[in-house]
Amino acid sequence: MIKPIGSETLKPLFVADENERNMLVAEAQNLPDILVSSATAANAVMLGGGYFNPLGGYMNLPDALAVSRNMTMTSGQFFPVPILNLVESVDSIGEAKRIALRDPNVEGNPVVAIQQIEAIETVSDEQMAEMTEKVYGTTDPEHPGVEAFNAQGRIAISGPIQVLNYSYFETEFADTFRTAVQIREEIEQRGWQRVVAFQTRNPMHLAHEELCHMAMDRLNCDGLVIHMLLGKLKPGDIPADVRDDAIRTMVKYYFAENSAMVTGYGFDMLYAGPREAVLHAYFRQNMGASHFIIGRDHAGVGDYYGAFDAQSIFDDEVPEAALDIEIFRADHTAWSTRLNRVVMMNEAPDHTKEDFVLLSGTKVREMLGQGMAPPKEFSRPEVAEILINYYRSIA
């Protein structure tokens, strides 16, 4: 199986020993605490599960700036985006060296992690703007990722963490949420050697399904990991439980036994386009995937990124030998009325736009909201039924 990044084996930051964890939970009740941002809590979950291996905690400002500029920490360790604990004030922690990080996404704000403080640094407006521009490619406050990043405070608390739980992900998505450690274990149990991962924050329509089959066939993969984002999205995106139901139904009817694994991870979407594509590849290698599908406008939003920027960044900006995982570069896929099958549009140069079944997201939502299933060339009927029921429930 492919090795993790930066170490021979994963080093998850979740405290697995129950006795030790219980002692830390008790200790946390007497520590100064801070209610962290949703992004910080999600980063703790990813660190806890081994996805961000070999990071030991939240970055200091020099590392965050270095990563933003060239995807390399001051130590030389590769990482694609800053992982920060940004807060508005540290008045409540005084001179403490250990603090409890409270989860904003769970009722009662339980402690998600304990952090050892190595440094407390103020981020200037110029430094914040530089990191925003480098990571998101824009400082436009209308960009949902830019808005969320800049809504955090300007004080960075750096240092290692000990993760005590997986926030709401493990309880609300018990059948789907998996750590990188757990996915590696299941890949090994299934006997897979070549594994392709597919990222999604949406239900999978027929074109997505066929893209996964194409990748598996062309790469000669033993298995597919459909890896859903379970964290916070932008308004209007379909909730994770609905996506989960739709995707599991698709796999049940249209994938061979022991060929596809449906899992999810706890993280807030950045909508950072190319940089997020690299992050997605980074933690897919850590979870054991040897290949990763990246299509048009991967992790993008609006018109902020070029159609294939999320693919070209691996050639133009990712340091050489930083990743072992291989990228499967996909074009937009759609049903060809001339060939009566789903194709990558760049592999059908003799087609015109009219030769494809293409529906906008707005049109699909309108149809589903009216109880109408999209055409069979666009969506499996079993998937459409689930989505119709969802849109009816919010009408």
Q: Which residues are catalytic?
A: 201-202
Pick from 50, 82, 55: nearest CA to 66: 82
Residue 323: DSSP 8-state: -
Pick from 44, 49, 57: nearest CA to 264: 49
Q: Which residue has the tokens 């789903």?
A: 342
Pick from 105, 87, 103: nearest CA to 158: 87
DSSP code per residue over 73-109 = -TTS-B-SS----EES--GGGTT-SEEEEEPTTSTT-
DSSP code per residue over 286-316 = HTT-SEEEE-TTTT--TTSS-TTHHHHHHHH
Pick from 289, 283, 254: nearest CA to 270: 283
Residue 130 contacts residue 150 (beta carbons within 8 Å): no
What span, in angstroms and rounded, lies between the C-alpha atoms of 267 and 271? Answer: 12
What span, in angstroms and rounded, lies between the C-alpha atoms of 107 and 7? Answer: 36
